[in-house]
Amino acid sequence: MRLLEIKGPGEFSLVQVATHNTLPYAILSHTWVHDQEVTYKDLVGGAGERKTGYEKIKFCGEQATKDGLQYFWVDTCCINKSDSTELTTAINSMFRWYRNAKKCYVYLADVSTPGNDADVQSAWEATFRNSKWFTRGWTLQELIAPATVEFFSKEGKRLGDKNSLEKLIHEITRIPIQALQGNPFSYFSIAERTKWAVQRQTTEEEDMVYCLLGLCEVSMLPIYGEGKEAALKRLQMTVKEFSKDSSVLQDLEGMAYLI
């Protein structure tokens, strides 16, 4: 796993760590903008600052510093996606990486709080409800996994956290309050957990299945190009193999909505 180590104001560099729980770190949750995200290659080559996505990385580092953390993680640049083995490891580790983060910062690029509007929920609630962040597949686990999830506007102003905004988040996502509060997965069936992804989308069709691996508590080799239906069948077989509960078969049938 790679982390970004803060060297000074606005300065950071990539470091390799043995596991996801070696050092305390913050983690960023956001939505991607085509051709504007800073990749691992960009960061290593010093070309990242030319992209608009660099502002999110700076924001995450600055907020981590405020919270007394020296390390942070951003998916766009901490994973070398050109390395298929590394990408596979990242997909299967993603839920744990978010769960073990000390802080998760949600950067909402489509929620604006000019002036002091961040202090008045009515000023930003409508755009918060309609944020693209609530429609993406991967952000589902980024909401559920971490104990501490804090929401920020595009100006970097704090709107609240998963606890203070739980009623609003529940209304938007229909995810049970108990799940937002961190109750164990044993409280919820496999079918119920996967239905939290209803009406969410991913850029790659297979990712609609792969983004559920952590919620289903299994690991699986991603095979891009196999299609969503084939990926779902493999997920069902994997869940069945690892489950000790015979009732899981009914749950698996309830996952057909993903196709």
User: Residue 73: its pLDDT value, please?
Assistant: 98
Which sequence spans correspond to the domains of the chain?
A: 2-183, 188-259
User: Residue 115: its pLDDT value, please?
Assistant: 84
User: Residue 243: its pLDDT value, please?
Assistant: 73
> Lowest-pLDDT range, 57-61, 71-75, 116-120?
116-120
* CA atoms of 35 and 37, how far apart (whole Å): 6
* CA atoms of 234 and 245, how far apart (whole Å): 18
* CA atoms of 30 and 9, how far apart (whole Å): 22
Could you give the maximum distance between any two Cα atoms of the chain, in Å?
56
User: Residue 245: its pLDDT value, please?
Assistant: 59
- What tens digit of pLDDT does each residue of 200-227 get? 999 999 999 999 999 999 999 999 999 9
User: Between residues 236 and 247, which one has the greater pLDDT?
Assistant: 236
pLDDT band at 101 (very low <50, low <70, confident <90, very high): very high
* CA atoms of 28 and 152, how far apart (whole Å): 11
* CA atoms of 87 and 90, how far apart (whole Å): 5
Tell me what percent of the residues of the chain surpass a pLDDT of 70: 93
**Three-class SS state of 71:** strand
Residue 211: how many CA atoms within 13 Å on its side-chain side?
Answer: 26
- What tens digit of pLDDT does each residue of 81-92 get? 999 999 999 999
CB 114 within 8 A of CB 234: no
Q: Given the DSSP bridges, would you call strands 11-16 and 158-161 parallel, antiparallel or unpaired?
A: unpaired
**Three-class SS state of 116:** coil
**Three-class SS state of 242:** helix
User: Residue 147: its pLDDT value, please?
Assistant: 96
The mean pLDDT value for 163-188 works out to 95
Burial of 116 (0-12, 13-18, 19+ CB in 10 A): exposed
Q: Given the DSSP bridges, would you call strands 158-161 and 103-107 parallel, antiparallel or unpaired?
A: unpaired
User: Residue 244: its pLDDT value, please?
Assistant: 62
* pTM for this model (two decimals): 0.94
Kindly state the tokens that stand for 9. 């104001």
Q: Is the model's pLDDT at 121 over the cut of 80?
A: yes
- What tens digit of pLDDT does each residue of 3-45 get? 999 998 888 999 998 865 679 999 999 999 999 999 999 999 9
